[in-house]
Amino acid sequence: MESSRFKRFFGALLTIIGIVLILFACVAFLSDKPVLGLEVTKWETLVPFIVGALFMIPGVSLISNS
């Protein structure tokens, strides 16, 4: 029982971090100004998007499997 609650908590945490990173990448891609003080080019927005997807996919998987 305790393991299932931990998996759901960790999965939710990973999912939230992934969504935040994907939203940051989208805002940075669409913006011409620095976002959160970071000057990010169009190609550099690919990195937070991929990292966000790598966090979100296992997070959703952990939630659905527990």
For residue range 12-53, what is the model confidence (pLDDT) as tens digits? 999 999 999 999 999 989 888 888 787 888 888 899 999 999
pLDDT of residue 51: 95
**Residue 38: strand pairing partners:** 35
pLDDT of residue 60: 92
pLDDT of residue 38: 78
Global confidence as pTM: 0.85
Sign of the CA dihedral with 15 first, then 16, 17, and 23 last: positive
pLDDT of residue 42: 82
pLDDT of residue 1: 56
